[in-house]
Amino acid sequence: MPVHFDPEVMRLLAAAPFFQGLDQTTLELVAQMAVERLYQPDQLVILEGEPSIGLFIIQWGRLKASKMALDGREQILELLGAGDLFNAVSVFANQPHPATVTALELSKVWVIPQEAMLQLLETNPRLARGVIQSLAGRVLHLVALVEDLSLRSVEARLARLLLEKSVDGVIMRRRWATQTEIAARLGTVPDVISRSLRKLSSLGLIQMDRHAIRILDRPKLVALAKLEPPD
């Protein structure tokens, strides 16, 4: 009996770090088990603390992974886009979801059931190696996040974010990329972000309008991104 699956899933899997190097038959098996899901803007994808259901891979759209403090403050851990995998820690550690994931815009994702991933892990050394490398990368990402939050000022973190997200010196302002979202990503509050943006603008480092932020003085912005907060 022929195996039926969406060709787009095969393309996503073949490009994903976890699955690179797997043979065609195994990839087709994984693609057959993948379940399609569509999420609207602001719709909850994963709720922190709930049991894991599987590994997610994004076909298109944009999502955010975040933690919520007891006082209601949000810390964005990561923004996720096309081709990204998420929820691996929950799947392979067999633990509840460690963070909440929310759709920022209309998004299409595929879910590979947890049990299927665990079975594949036991029989595919290449997959196991890919998982280890990916999870190690996640640890390094979180270490860098902790370093930013504890060792750099808000202005330095904002400067680094602008540099990382710029394309040819321009950062397009998406509908969901509000000052509240930026604050949640940088571990502060919207008022502080607003003041920091105005300061960078007054110093001639950036120019802002409704649709974009333009970097005017990249060398100075790079120097600011490296500054540490005063003792």
CATH fold of 7-149 reads Jelly Rolls (2.60.120)
pLDDT tops 70 at residue 219? yes
Question: Between the CA of residue 5 and those of 9, 55, 82, 106, 115, what are the distances in Å?
Answer: 7, 17, 19, 23, 19
Alpha helices in the chain (DSSP H): 7-15, 24-33, 88-93, 114-123, 125-151, 154-165, 179-186, 190-202, 218-225
pLDDT level of residue 113 (50, 70, 90 thresholds) = very high
pLDDT mean across residues, the chain: 86
Give the three-state DSSP class for 85.
Answer: strand
pLDDT > 70: percent of the chain: 96
DSSP-assigned states of every residue in 29-72: HHHHH-EEEEE-TT-EEE-TTSPP-EEEEEEES-EEEEEE-TTS
The region of weakest confidence among 81-90, 96-105, 132-141 is 132-141
Q: What is the pLDDT of residues 21-53, one digit of tens each?
A: 778 888 888 888 899 999 999 999 999 999 989
As annotated, the residues of the chain forming the CATH 2.60.120.10 domain(s) are 7-149
CA dihedral 166, 82, 142, 205 (to 10 degrees): 10
The whole-angstrom separation of Cα 92 and Cα 231 is 40
pLDDT tops 50 at residue 137? yes
Residues 100-119 have a mean pLDDT of 93
CATH fold of 152-225 reads Arc Repressor Mutant, subunit A (1.10.10)
Q: What is the pLDDT of residues 181-205, one digit of tens each?
A: 888 888 888 888 999 999 999 999 9
Give the three-state DSSP class for 78.
Answer: strand
Give the three-state DSSP class for 166.
Answer: coil
- For residue 132 the two structure tokens come to 């280890």
